[in-house]
């Protein structure tokens, strides 16, 4: 059995106005896209619940929920590849978070700068 984060964090965590707007998946998570703030480079996709978003907003460091390890993790705590938060926005449907960061080192767990540069697909002719 896999556990998921509690979609209802303790009182005093995420601002209730933000929590009320979020549209979470059945697992209580929303996708969080990390983007380099000054170049627009898309770095990675992670997952956040209310607590991870609260920690991200209050610490200035990206905190994600690891679906495989079933725990919170702060980007860079073990690798040194830190994401310093510059801004956080919700998309128009409030079901995706965009975190603009200043990335130190690799964003991808493979050691690449971005998770989106190793497997570029070719467009098919229409």
Cα dihedral 111, 101, 35, 5 in deg (nearest 10): 80
Q: Please report, in range form, the residues annotated as the binding site for Mg(2+).
A: 91, 93, 95
pLDDT in tens, 62-76: 999 999 999 999 999
Q: Please report, in range form, the residues annotated as the binding site.
A: 91-93, 95, 108, 115
Q: Please report, in range form, the residues annotated as the binding site for Zn(2+).
A: 92, 108, 115
> What is the mean pLDDT of each successive set of 10 residues along the chain, which is 126 residues long?
49 82 95 98 97 96 95 94 97 97 95 88 80
Q: Are strands 30-36 and 42-48 parallel, antiparallel or unpaired?
A: antiparallel
Report the distance separating Cα 100 and Cα 48, nearest Å: 15
> pTM value?
0.84
């Amino acid at each position: 059995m896999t556990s998921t984060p509690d979609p209802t964090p303790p009182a005093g965590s995420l601002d209730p106005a933000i929590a009320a707007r979020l549209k979470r998946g059945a697992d209580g998570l929303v996708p969080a896209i990390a983007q380099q703030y000054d170049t627009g480079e898309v770095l990675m996709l992670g997952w956040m619940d209310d607590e991870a978003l609260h920690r991200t907003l209050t610490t200035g460091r990206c905190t994600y929920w690891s679906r495989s390890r079933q725990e919170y993790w702060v980007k860079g705590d073990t690798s040194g590849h830190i994401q310093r938060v510059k801004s956080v926005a919700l998309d128009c449907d409030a079901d995706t978070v965009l975190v603009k960061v200043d990335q130190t080192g690799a964003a991808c767990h493979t050691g690449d700068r971005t998770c989106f540069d190793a497997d570029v697909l070719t467009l098919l002719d229409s």
